[in-house]
Amino acid sequence: MSGMLNSVDQRTQLVGENRLELLLFKLNTTQIFAINVFKVKEILKVPKLTKLPGSHYHISGVASLRGESVPVIDLRGAIGMKPMGNDEESTLIITEYNRTTQGFLVGQVQNIINTTWADIQPPPKTVGRHNFLTAITQVEVEPNTTRIVEIIDVEKVLAEIIEYDISISEGVLDQELVSHMHGRKVLIVDDSSTARTQVRNTLQQLGLEVIERSDGRQALDLLKGWCDEGKVVNDEILLMITDAEMPEMDGYRLTHEIRNDPRMNDLFITLNTSLSGSFNDAMVQKVGCDRFISKFQPDLIVGVVQERLAQII
């Protein structure tokens, strides 16, 4: 199964082209689910798991992988379905999110598809606010037959299990800048409502106002609308904090479009993503972001705001 994953160098060629690869799998149901391949480190048969007394009820146990203890989450149970358990068809997907490594217990892993963010759509509003989907798409399973694929909001899954601390460490705040923050606006762009909430709650501690958009296309339409009205984008917002992976238009393409519009090409853009740091450092240089920070680190978010504010006061 490890052969299913291409090298990181090969897969990074997709980014900046508004494309992505999805790993498709099932949860012992007929429905097809997916996560982004960039966040997958390894796919393997489920090894022996060690139970941890007192751990979260969605944690099936801990796997020992090359000396590293990796918590294993029953993904079926974590998204509100009946827990799946470990059987002969179970597969373990090892992922890296927000600087942590975890495994997801799933059913049959099917294949990897190459698609475009333009074909990725938000889930229908009728599914409610408490679903664990970040997007949906369609794939052709056989000639003239398509199936809906549900893309899991892994950040929301993890937030239900891990307690994220939004407190700002002592000594991080520059008191000379605090008074200049109140009333200024920051644009947050992220398809995960959980991620937006984490960033919003951090920024509001500083007295900042937040404008939210759930994908790059929405954000670009907002910015262009201001420009068309004769407004100066830097007067409307202090900076933009954007995720990398979003339906319709990813954060890299969004940045590219902004940098190529002379009306707003000097907007301060921070890429805030759960993807690996070494990969994104290269992409930041390629597409022209000002900063890259990995999720979720309140002190780094505050640091970026202060850096930008210091440039203009």
> What does DSSP say about strands 68-74 and 239-242: parallel, antiparallel, or unpaired?
unpaired
pLDDT of residue 273: 80
Q: Is 228 exposed, middle or buried (0-12, 13-18, 19+ CB in 10 A)?
A: exposed
Tell me which H or E stretch contains 102: strand 100-106
Q: Given a cut of 60, is residue 289 above it in pLDDT?
A: yes
Alpha helices by DSSP H, listed for 193-246, are 193-204, 216-228, 233-236
69, 48 Cβ separation under 8 angstroms: no
Cα–Cα distance between 255 and 265 in angstroms, integer?
9
Q: Given a cut of 70, is residue 23 above it in pLDDT?
A: yes
**In sequence order, which residues have a C-beta less than 8 Å from that of residue 174 and are 6 or more positions away?**
306, 310
Cα–Cα distance between 170 and 150 in angstroms, integer?
41
- Which one has a higher pLDDT value, 152 or 248? 152
Let me know if domain 175-311 sits in CATH 1.10.15.40.
no
For 197-229, the pLDDT digits (tens) are 999 999 999 999 999 999 999 999 999 999 999
Report helix angle 216-228 to 251-259, nearest 10.
20
pLDDT of residue 26: 94
Per-domain residue ranges of the chain: 18-160, 175-311
Q: Given a cut of 50, is residue 9 above it in pLDDT?
A: no
For 50-77, the pLDDT digits (tens) are 998 888 989 999 999 988 899 999 999 9
The CATH number of domain 18-160, selected from 2.40.160.60, 2.60.40.680, 3.40.50.150, 2.40.50.180? 2.40.50.180
**In sequence order, which residues have a C-beta less than 8 Å from that of residue 30 and are 6 or more positions away?**
none
Q: Given a cut of 80, is residue 128 above it in pLDDT?
A: no
Cα–Cα distance between 307 and 228 in angstroms, integer?
29
- Which one has a higher pLDDT value, 244 or 130? 244
pLDDT of residue 99: 74
Q: Given a cut of 80, is residue 98 above it in pLDDT?
A: no
For 170-181, the pLDDT digits (tens) are 989 998 898 899
pLDDT of residue 238: 97
Q: What are phi and psi of 134, to 5 degrees?
A: -100, -20
Within 10 angstroms of residue 284's Cβ, the number of other Cβ atoms is: 19
Residue 150 half-sphere exposure, CB side, CA atoms within 13 Å? Answer: 18
Q: How confident is the model at residue 12 (pLDDT cuts 50, 70, 90)?
A: very low
- List the structure tokens of 60: 């099936």
| Mean pLDDT score, 299-308 | 94
- Sign of the C-alpha dihedral computed for residues 193, 211, 278 and 37 taken in this order: positive
Cα–Cα distance between 4 and 44 in angstroms, integer?
11
Q: Given a cut of 60, is residue 306 above it in pLDDT?
A: yes
- Which one has a higher pLDDT value, 77 or 274? 77
Q: Given a cut of 70, is residue 7 above it in pLDDT?
A: no
Look at residue 99 and give its three-state secondary structure. coil
76, 28 Cβ separation under 8 angstroms: yes
Q: Which of 113-122, 145-154, 203-212 has the highest mean pLDDT?
A: 203-212
Q: Given a cut of 60, is residue 81 above it in pLDDT?
A: yes
pLDDT of residue 50: 92
| Mean pLDDT score, 241-251 | 88
pLDDT of residue 305: 95
